[in-house]
Amino acid sequence: MTKLSVNINKIATLRNSRGGNVPNVLQFAKDVQRFGAQGVTIHPRPDERHIRYQDAYDLKTEVYTEYNIEGNPIDSFMELVLKIKPTQVTLVPDADNAITSNAGWDTIKHKNFLMDIIKEFKQNNIRTSIFVDPVLKQIEGAKETGTDRIELYTEVFAHQYSLENKDAIKPYAECAELANTLGLGINAGHDLSLENIEFFKEHIPNLLEVSIGHALIAESLYLGIENVIQMYLHKLQ
């Protein structure tokens, strides 16, 4: 089945909005794993407006499934990841002031930069993934960087699916087929939800992992976190 990695940034956002340590990010990470999630994702940003760098270090001993750290490979991020050595690092080209990730890498323009970053992570036995738009030439470019996996940026799909345009899956399916041919592992994330996840998985061959945060946490406000994780696992089988 496709693995579910729960992005816990929103839990940190809620904690930070009040001060103190409620909700407890470490406990939440332990709980989502206990409820069946096969991974925990965080995306620390330089201003630490949600996940703090110290959270990333503290989570190292609490994540016993797959630990995925996302972010733009600036110096402080590189230092963090190389010290923690998570299961996977996902490289995302987001600006410092971005509310959320909003585009994939130009793997052709930034090929040499990505090659150097990926080489360093792989030398430290950290699996690498890079955030990409569903464009065939960008998948080909990703292969040239030496990355282990790609993460398909799914915001466009999710938006079009909500408008009942199911043809929006086509470029993602085509890119997945190419990635499989090239030997790249496939992850996906951004605005995936209980509404669209099953359809997405059915059309993406060999989808290894999805990272879901905002929708999953919002759905859990109504349905409960343990129940929501089980619902995702059922749809990802």
Is 203 catalytic? The answer is no
Is 144 catalytic? The answer is no
What is d(CA 117, CA 124) in angstroms, rounded to the nearest whole number?
11
Average of per-residue pLDDT values in the chain: 96
| β-pair partners for 128 | 89
Contact 129, 185 (CB under 8 A): yes
Other beta carbons within 10 angstroms of residue 84's beta carbon come to: 17
The model's pTM is 0.94
Domains and CATH numbers, the chain: 3-236 (3.20.20.70)
pLDDT band at 94; cut points 50, 70, 90: confident
Q: Which of 70, 151, 209, 219 is catalytic?
A: 70
Q: Which of 50, 66, 151, 190 is catalytic?
A: 190
Say which residues have a Cβ less than 8 Å from residue 34's Cβ, sequence separation at least 6. none
- Judge residue 183's burial from the number of C-beta atoms within 10 Å of its C-beta, 0-12 exposed, 13-18 middle, 19 or more buried: exposed
CA 190 to chain centre: 8
Eight-class DSSP state of 195: T
Residue 189, SS3?
A: strand
Number of H helices, E strands in the chain: 11, 8
Write out pLDDT tens, residues 139-181: 999 999 999 999 999 999 999 999 999 999 999 999 999 999 9
Write out pLDDT tens, residues 176-231: 999 999 999 999 999 999 999 999 999 999 999 999 999 999 999 999 999 999 99
Contact 178, 81 (CB under 8 A): no
Indicate whether 54 pLDDT > 70: yes
Token pair in block for residue 181:
């041919």
What is d(CA 115, CA 203) in angstroms, rounded to the nearest whole number?
30
Q: What are phi and psi of 161, to 5 degrees?
A: -65, -40
**Pairing relationship of beta strands 149-153 and 127-132 according to DSSP bridges:** parallel
Indicate whether 111 pLDDT > 70: yes
Contact 188, 210 (CB under 8 A): yes
Is 43 catalytic? The answer is yes
Nearest residue to 34 (alpha-carbon basis) of 232, 196, 226: 226
